[in-house]
Amino acid sequence: MNFSTRLAEKLPGILPVPSSPLLRKGVHELRSFSIANHSKRLRWGLQKKMVWSLQRAELCVVSNLCIVHPATEAYAQEAIEAIKSEKVIAVPTDTLYGFACDACSSEAVNRIYEIKGRKLTSPLAICVGDVLDIKRVATTNHLPHGLLDSLLPGPVTLVLQRGESSILEKSLNPGIDTIGVRVPDCEFIREVSRGSGSVLALTSANLSGDRSSVCVNDFENLWQHCAYVYDGGLLPSGRAGSTIVDLTKVGKYKIIRPGSAKQATIAILEKYLLEEEEDR
């Protein structure tokens, strides 16, 4: 077997060169045509791969009617508009990925329950952009001065009384007079919350009962239910979620869920002379 025959076996469509001069001429033309076509297909394949690579480099992926963007300032206004349009988005926080929507839109809140398969009796937490915004949704005047600023922003959910002046709709967590409030140490979600002019309802981005999500691929099966998914990469704090602490009683605290920052949270609470509430 000569070199041309071996090459033909490696490159489909390229013919071996026969011994006859006349046939050699015809095969040469066919071979040139075949190589040209092979080269053209190769170039087109490379072009498509380059386009795909550029799309991936920008981290803008279209999948199942949902667009995945990086969680950067460039896409914050898009997320804000989605929230104002009563849509559900998926966002990173300082602990886990979460589903977020306008907490004052019963339609959007119900959509989150549908996506997660969550019982309507299970309350949702909320997210505000800054510590000063907490007083718009909950009672804080019984807390030691400086405590909130020491705890937040950070991986902590504070359970507080709603209060009569809360801007929250009564339809959010009906029958429950407390609310879990977050100010995550994550600039993207805080900017979205500020820009929305409202308050965000926030819950983990997963089906109820499933493990929590620390990267967008963890909940890829739910992307299609979101207006947008914002990718903040792999979140480093593990799957424990935020530490939930009840601060509804004067001078007392109660850890509801240890989460990822239990010891640091307790240290701050006790620095402000709060005492742990005993179980009865």
Query: What are 202-215's pLDDT values in tens digits?
Result: 999 999 999 999 99
Tokens read off for 157: 């959910």
List pLDDT tens digits, range 66-110. 789 999 999 999 999 999 999 999 999 999 999 999 999 999 999
HSE of 25 in the Cβ direction (CA atoms, 13 Å)? 2
Alpha-carbon gap, residue 110 to 1, rounded angstroms: 72
List of long-range contacts for 11-14, beta carbons under 8 Å, 24+ apart: 11/38, 13/37, 13/38, 14/38
| Residue 188 near residue 69 (C-beta atoms within 8 A) | no
Q: Does 200 have pLDDT greater than 70?
A: yes
Closest Cα to residue 99, out of 247, 244, 222? 222
Element (H, E) at 110: helix 106-116
The token duo for 11 is 């490159």
Query: Residue 243's closest CA among 159, 143, 173?
Result: 159
Q: pTM above the 0.85 mark?
A: no
* Residue 57 clears pLDDT 60, i.e. is over it: no
- Identify the band that residue 165 occupies on the pLDDT scale cut at 50, 70 and 90: confident
The Cα–Cα gap between 55 and 49 comes to 10
Beta strands in the chain (DSSP E): 61-63, 66-70, 89-92, 97-102, 125-127, 156-161, 178-182, 200-204, 228-231, 243-246, 252-257, 275-276
Whether residue 153 is preceded by a cis peptide bond, meaning omega within 30 degrees of 0, is: yes
* pLDDT band of 245, cuts 50, 70, 90: very high
Q: What is the pLDDT of residues 127-159, one digit of tens each?
A: 999 999 999 999 999 999 999 999 999 999 999
